[in-house]
Amino acid sequence: MADYEMILTERHGAAAVIRLNRPQALNALCDQLMDELARALRAFDADDSVSAIVLTGSDKAFAAGADIREMQPRSWPGTHRHDFIAPWEAVLGVQKPVIAAVAGFALGGGCEVAMMCDILLAADTAKFGQPEIKLGILPGAGGSQRLTHAIGKSKAMEMVLTGRMMDAAEAERCGLVARVVPAAELMDQAVALAQKIGELSAPAVAMAKEAVNASFELPLREGVRLERRLFLSLFGTEDQKEGMAAFNEKRKPLFRRG
Ligand code: CAA
């Protein structure tokens, strides 16, 4: 993992942390940074000793968006032949839970990457926005869709059409983030959340993530069918036997790792 230049990685027991680390550009998401992020996510996803991944930035910025300097000379149809956003979807391909721990700016692509994660925890300093309209473009990594799903049409439309930012309290009120914590506690709480998930059954966690994410893509009936199949398949796991035996024997379950 030593070949990363724009991210830092750490382990805290079963929790893995990836920190975007390009402070001179407020973690602007250039091609190299996104390539490193994708590689780190894949490596942690493949590591059975990791239960969940925390993705974070600095105190000042989770990420201030796609790299505007890198984008400025790009033109169409080059952008059509080379879709520079496509590699970002690596975030969506992770089977394990990914927790975004957001302090400071999460703008444009930064907000979009945070919304690709499974749980958003915000420091009280967090600021979210989709300011692409001010650059003569629109959100390009799912912002127009995921923000609308998260906070509803009217507020999403206001954010996307004006580029205004929302603070952490507003983000919590409108359901964009799971909760807001004091900035000084952000990482401890994010790591604790990842570790707590790590105590649970890994197959059940992976399938629960798949089921919730399916609700964004499938009609209700198909989503419920998928949920039922996943639910029934978990009865083939040792963890289901252990979880239910532990409940009945009034003890803590000991789930297998991996
Ligand atoms: N791309 C490239 N560089 C960026 C950047 C970005 N998105 N955001 C900040 N930086 C750079 C600045 O150019 C500056 O570099 P220099 O010191 O070399 O001049 C450095 O980071 C510090 O930034 P500021 O001096 O601007 O810091 P500030 O505290 O005054 O302002 C800010 C902070 C409000 C976040 C401001 O930097 C800003 O508005 N950034 C751009 C936000 C934005 O428009 N994001 C959307 C990008 S488009 C996109 O993401 C497309 C998509 O949907 C995929």
**pTM listed for this prediction:** 0.97
Catalytic residue among 106, 110, 123, 132: 132
Whole-angstrom distance, CA of residue 187 vs CA of residue 221 = 38
Whole-angstrom distance, CA of residue 15 vs CA of residue 198 = 7
Q: Locate 199 and state its tokens.
A: 């105590």
The residue whose CA is least distant from atom 21 of ligand 1 is 25
Each residue's pLDDT expressed in tens, for the chain with a length of 258 residues: 458 999 999 999 999 999 999 999 999 999 999 999 999 999 999 999 999 999 999 999 999 999 999 999 999 999 999 999 999 999 999 999 999 999 999 999 999 999 999 999 999 999 999 999 999 999 999 999 999 999 999 999 999 999 999 999 999 999 999 999 999 999 999 999 999 999 999 999 999 999 999 999 999 999 999 999 999 999 999 999 999 999 999 999 999 864
Is any atom of ligand 1 closer than 6 Å to the C-beta of 65? yes
Ligand 1 centroid, distance to 170 Cα (angstroms): 22
Whole-angstrom distance, CA of residue 45 vs CA of residue 48 = 8
The predicted pLDDT at position 257 comes to: 63
The predicted pLDDT at position 256 comes to: 83
The C-alpha angle 156, 209, 29, rounded to 5 degrees, equals 55
The C-alpha angle 121, 123, 126, rounded to 5 degrees, equals 100
Whole-angstrom distance, CA of residue 27 vs CA of residue 20 = 6
CA 105 to centroid of chain Cα atoms: 15
Mutate to test the pocket of ligand 1, among 68, 84, 133 (most ligand atoms within 8 A of CB): 68
Catalytic residue among 66, 101, 141, 156: 66
What is the DSSP code string of 5-66?
SSEEEEEETTEEEEEE--GGGTT-B-HHHHHHHHHHHHHHHH-TT--EEEEE--SSEEE--B
Please, are residues 57 and 33 in contact by the beta-carbon 8 Å criterion? no
Ligand 1 centroid, distance to 121 Cα (angstroms): 22
Interface pTM, i.e. ipTM:
0.98
Residue 215: exposure state from Cβ atoms within 10 A (0-12, 13-18, ≥19) = middle
For residue 210, which of 233, 190, 191, 181 has the smallest C-alpha distance? 233
Catalytic residue among 36, 112, 172, 227: 112
Ligand 1 centroid, distance to 244 Cα (angstroms): 51
How does strand 165-167 pair with strand 127-129? antiparallel
Ligand 1 centroid, distance to 26 Cα (angstroms): 7
Alpha helices in the chain (DSSP H): 31-46, 68-71, 78-81, 109-116, 143-151, 153-162, 168-173, 186-198, 202-214, 220-233, 238-248
